Amino acid sequence: MSGARILVLGGTGEARSLADSLVDAGIDTVLSLAGRTAMPAASRANVRTGGFGGIAGLSTYLRAERIDACIDATHPFAARISANALAACNAVGVPRLGLVRQEWVPVDGDRWITVDDLGQAARLLPAMGRRVFVAFADGLEALAGLDLDFVVRRAEPGGVALARAQVIVDRGPFVRDAERDLFASLHVDVVLAKASGGTAARAKLDAARNLGLPIILLRRPEPPPGPQAGSQAEALAWARMHAAP
């Protein structure tokens, strides 16, 4: 094991997989989780759980744990931790890399409408159908006034801020044919999803295209400035460079 220590900010499948590959490469690796998931998938890295306490807390952590480099592999919509990581790494002088999912690009047959926020989605939905499949559970207060039926899929058990909502608890991985059967059996008219990008969450888009269903996609926040990797292999190469004695 090399002497350097890498912090991977996680909460995604990509982060877990990257952390495992760093461990396999002999790099001392800490995988950090927010603690939202009751039973997170196992990792070969050292796992720490819970918020750091903002920029100041993360700066203190980076120093106290002698972190040599940090890879932000959080979800593209987890904007606060990404901004905090950028600021803390800059403050402490720890090199930082963002592992950024490839953006989705529509193909023939896709019926996507991209919106900036859920308020905009709320204005469009009533004209698009009666039954809405929502692929996330946060921020749904913006849809609460709509006279529509919702099916909300969330990764962890919990309520949703909608009166007429059926809740499905499932964290995937999802495959196209099962997604298509699910949408058909639920008589879904329209899908509402975050434009997260990458491969893991893509199946619902392919299923919707198969069924000719429209999708409202919530635009993802811009990733913070600074160096980026578009793949695990690139992130691993960057980490090896920073872990070299």
Closest to ligand NAP by CB, 15 or 125: 15
Task: Collect contacts of 105-113 with beta carbons under 8 A, ≥24 apart.
Answer: 107/209, 109/209, 109/212, 110/205, 110/208, 110/209, 110/215, 111/208, 111/209, 111/212, 111/213, 111/214, 111/215, 112/205, 112/214, 112/215, 112/216, 112/217, 113/214, 113/215, 113/216, 113/217
Strand-pair category, 112-115 with 96-99: unpaired
| Interface size with ligand NAP, residues (CB under 6 A) | 24
**What mask, x for binding ligand NAP by CB under 6 A, covers residues 77 to 96?**
xxxxx--x------------
Window 40-69: contact mask with ligand NAP (x via CB under 6 A): -----------xxxx--xx-----------
Q: How far apart are CA 53 and CA 31, in angstroms?
A: 17
Stretch that binds ligand NAP, among 75-83, 174-182, 217-225, 229-237 (CB under 6 A): 75-83
10 binds ligand NAP (CB under 6 A): yes
Residue 173 CB, nearest approach to ligand NAP (Å) = 13
The reply on whether position 139 binds ligand NAP by CB under 6 A is no
Which residues contribute to the site for ligand NAP (CB under 6 A)?
9-12, 32-34, 36, 51-54, 57-58, 74-75, 77-81, 84, 136, 194
